[in-house]
Structure 1
């Protein structure tokens, strides 16, 4: 049989496309060694270290053959973030007398004063009040915050305890003060503080209360790394694969919060999927690879991207976010990842039919769907979910989130399981849809 130059080329191309791609653990480890090593000091949000991490990701994108996204001349998108800090210790007065033992976990942009309203349970919380004192002793602090954060309350004071201490430690043992994109000042939010139980019990309804918080403001730059793989059909839509590249940085005592799992592991997944999907023949749909900055301080990288997308959000067929895939929850089937909000769309179930190791989130009450960058785009209508190995891993926001505590083999297998499904999604006609009540409201 006579083989022409053209037919030989076509045969070679087909063979190349059919050759399975193998994600190698040494590639996975190499990304982690850089992103979660001492040199980047924990990739603090909107810091120079975060910018270095973004530059690394951008250089990998360029090396794999990705192009700058439409309308961009390079691979980095930046935004200005305003941060507030407690300048000197906050002061709480009840009945004009200072109260000792204040732990201000969440601060607001201004001081608060008013008459005390007493609430003995979450169900009794008012919708609007200046100062609320929560007297129940058996409710975890973060559960109280979840219940109060969307209400029009100036300050909520609860009883101190282990849950409040754990939460405070996880946010770096400093008050969480408002941060916002310079182009979009934030709406008011409640302040949340705790006092010793005896001090709370001594407060009476109607007592005058005043919280004074001296505030300092500073502005910094956050960085998103963006790479684009053009598709062959401009009308077929775009797939978005994403993660966040920042973490908690370095504590005041010098401790580095490496963030090997949160979320150097997700960033590694995006990098290795870019590595895989740039091999072989072009795909029908375009693929965007985005690693956001400033997730840890409020999802500001993804919020900014949602306001300034590289392609219209209506062109994004689906967004798959990767968050903490460096260790597996023992509740999950071996090798599997959980998809947050699995039941909200048909994306997860369909990817599973294509070989993705994806199962439903076993912790729906934790609301993980709302706690990662996928949510920024989901609120704008994009079918967007997060894949995670362990949503509440013991190393979460701890100094122990290091490379030594990663399961590199699990990570490699999890990424490998998505290469085929991602190619299928990029080459096919399937367009995910929200279920009847799945789409969140902005």
Structure 2
């Protein structure tokens, strides 16, 4: 497939926008169960299949080169989404002059060398050692162990001066179970150690992700958010394979080590979230916000994609993951702006999901509307579908809006399947978890699937996931159901609540002062 210049890409944006207006015809209302005439007058019932397909074909086109975070195709996708918001008349968030929320990501290349000398042992890059972060390093000295390295308490840094020292921490955290939690905890350790002036950070890794995957992951380029107010780019941070506690001596006082690494070269990789607001109609409820979120980034081209590809097609278009979801949000924004609900809507297209949920994590730390006024996040994301009679909702049973979601799906002839593929831990693998961690009820509304089977694997993060392969009749119904579910949640008289005993219930009570 051909590559294109940035000028060609921008021209494509303008042509596609014009094409949408020329092609769009009002679709006939979908067949629904027991609909009233007032219900069928809602804009989501006349949603245009032609417009849905046009948006999808542009966002998942070869010209956008897989929409990888920090690359030109990703920036063009963000601008396209922003201009759709402008066309719909969405308001820019408070304090913003544009729909873009810029993020100064960094592109971090893999280290080329690294050793950790410990007595007679020499741990090597790609074997027992993985370099997470930092510049070129050659440092020797006694180590100082600070537990998990996440607090200033007795089990952390309390009473320990680590300035200029080599700090050792335990991998993970008491709460970290899945990959996302492990990586988030690791980033927090690096941030705190750097702020305290440590010369290097050694993390003893013995977590659930096999070490082989860890080595493979860190042998590739990553995208990261620079640590604010620290020298995080300079401080070396390494993981040591501590399976079976084989390097437990690193926790002992007086232990001396030498750490040498080439470092991981860094360069700017700017990107942006895209946010717009639909103001609610109720004088009181309009001060509360429902977020509609979807990530628009994907994994790029060739080796960036992380999967096999053919020379004739090296572009990972990401039609299902997640042009599909992005278009659902665009169409919901159109329907809800044409007939506004009681609560306000924050329409949020997120970058950086494929490189570690970075866009949603950035938003959660830099919200454009107060988090305590944000009552719900209806996220949409997915690996694809193997059942076009349903939508699958991750967190349906946990986040307090089951009735609204089921009503919306059934209205457009779709069933609802709750908690698909539980062994995959999907709730904590999409952008919804960044909001959930702050206490906001946040399910993910996904294309219909019950298990990760051959039909899913055929397209998930594969170069053949092209726009031509979608069932647009199903995508049409999915978009309608998503928009109607958002409306029903935004019109609820009461806020959705976490299920009693949920792992994020305490965060919700803390956020909302319950």
Same fold per superposition (TM over 0.5): yes
Q: Pick the aligned partner of 1:316 from 369, 374, 379.
A: 374
SS in 2 for 1:107: strand
CA shift in 2, pair 1:398/1:14, >3 Å: closer
Looking at structure 1, the residues matched to 39 and 297 of structure 2 have their Cα atoms a distance apart, in angstroms, of 39
Deviations 1:71-128 (A, max 9, x none): 322211112123432242445778456869749777344779999xxxxxxxxxxx99
SS in 2 for 1:42: helix
Looking at structure 1, the residues matched to 181 and 376 of structure 2 have their Cα atoms a distance apart, in angstroms, of 31
SS in 1 for 2:109: strand
SS in 2 for 1:296: coil
Partner of 1:140: none
Q: Following TM superposition, by how much is the alpha carbon of 1:437 offset from its aligned partner in structure 2, in angstroms?
A: 2.0
Q: Following TM superposition, by how much is the alpha carbon of 1:432 offset from its aligned partner in structure 2, in angstroms?
A: 0.3
Q: Following TM superposition, by how much is the alpha carbon of 1:421 offset from its aligned partner in structure 2, in angstroms?
A: 2.6
Question: Is 1:422 equivalent to 2:486 in the alignment?
Answer: yes
Looking at structure 2, the residues matched to 250 and 17 of structure 1 have their Cα atoms a distance apart, in angstroms, of 43
Q: Following TM superposition, by how much is the alpha carbon of 1:148 offset from its aligned partner in structure 2, in angstroms?
A: 6.7
C-alpha contact (below 8 Å) 2:401/2:489 kept by paired residues: no
Partner of 1:302: 360
Q: Following TM superposition, by how much is the alpha carbon of 1:269 offset from its aligned partner in structure 2, in angstroms?
A: 0.8
Query: 1:150-229 residue pairs with structure 2 within 5 A?
Result: 154-156=203-205, 164=212, 174-175=219-220, 179-183=224-228, 191=239, 212-229=261-278
Q: Which shifted more, 292-301 or 34-43?
A: 292-301
TM-score normalised by length of structure 1 = 0.74
Looking at structure 1, the residues matched to 181 and 89 of structure 2 have their Cα atoms a distance apart, in angstroms, of 47
CA shift in 2, pair 1:22/1:89, >3 Å: farther
C-alpha contact (below 8 Å) 1:145/1:192 kept by paired residues: no
Q: Pick the aligned partner of 1:241 from 292, 311, 314.
A: 292
Partner of 2:194: none
Query: 1:20-39 residue pairs with structure 2 within 5 A?
Result: 21-39=45-63
TM-score normalised by length of structure 2 = 0.64
Query: 1:136-151 residue pairs with structure 2 within 5 A?
Result: none
Deviations 1:14-71 (A, max 9, x none): 7994576233332222112111111111111133321211100011111123222233
Q: Pick the aligned partner of 2:88 from 64, 69, 84.
A: 64
Partner of 1:272: 331
Q: Following TM superposition, by how much is the alpha carbon of 1:250 offset from its aligned partner in structure 2, in angstroms?
A: 2.2
Partner of 2:70: 46
Instruction: List gaps (5 residues or longer) in structure 1.
Output: 1-12, 116-126, 133-142, 195-199
Looking at structure 1, the residues matched to 38 and 247 of structure 2 have their Cα atoms a distance apart, in angstroms, of 77
CA shift in 2, pair 1:78/1:337, >3 Å: same
**Where is the helix percentage greater, Structure 1 or Structure 2?**
2
Deviations 1:232-264 (A, max 9, x none): 224212211011111112235883222111111
Question: Is 1:328 equivalent to 2:392 in the alignment?
Answer: no
Partner of 1:368: 426
Q: Following TM superposition, by how much is the alpha carbon of 1:373 offset from its aligned partner in structure 2, in angstroms?
A: 1.1
C-alpha contact (below 8 Å) 1:272/1:415 kept by paired residues: yes
Q: Following TM superposition, by how much is the alpha carbon of 1:313 offset from its aligned partner in structure 2, in angstroms?
A: 1.3
Looking at structure 2, the residues matched to 218 and 277 of structure 1 have their Cα atoms a distance apart, in angstroms, of 40
Q: Following TM superposition, by how much is the alpha carbon of 1:213 offset from its aligned partner in structure 2, in angstroms?
A: 4.8
Partner of 1:137: none
Looking at structure 2, the residues matched to 402 and 144 of structure 1 have their Cα atoms a distance apart, in angstroms, of 30
Q: Following TM superposition, by how much is the alpha carbon of 1:362 offset from its aligned partner in structure 2, in angstroms?
A: 2.4
Looking at structure 1, the residues matched to 334 and 473 of structure 2 have their Cα atoms a distance apart, in angstroms, of 18
Looking at structure 2, the residues matched to 184 and 360 of structure 1 have their Cα atoms a distance apart, in angstroms, of 42
Q: Following TM superposition, by how much is the alpha carbon of 1:351 offset from its aligned partner in structure 2, in angstroms?
A: 2.1
Looking at structure 1, the residues matched to 266 and 236 of structure 2 have their Cα atoms a distance apart, in angstroms, of 16
Q: Following TM superposition, by how much is the alpha carbon of 1:290 offset from its aligned partner in structure 2, in angstroms?
A: 0.7
Instruction: List gaps (5 residues or longer) in structure 2.
Output: 1-36, 144-154, 157-166, 171-176, 190-201, 251-256, 305-310, 508-514
CA shift in 2, pair 1:177/1:20, >3 Å: closer
Q: Which shifted more, 63-72 or 373-382?
A: 63-72
SS in 2 for 1:219: strand
Q: Which shifted more, 103-112 or 305-314?
A: 103-112
Looking at structure 2, the residues matched to 33 and 376 of structure 1 have their Cα atoms a distance apart, in angstroms, of 29
C-alpha contact (below 8 Å) 2:295/2:349 kept by paired residues: yes
Q: Following TM superposition, by how much is the alpha carbon of 1:178 offset from its aligned partner in structure 2, in angstroms?
A: 7.2
Partner of 1:260: 319
Residue correspondences, number: 396
Question: Is 1:398 equivalent to 2:462 in the alignment?
Answer: yes
Partner of 2:280: 231
Q: Which shifted more, 400-409 or 30-39?
A: 400-409
C-alpha contact (below 8 Å) 1:69/1:310 kept by paired residues: yes
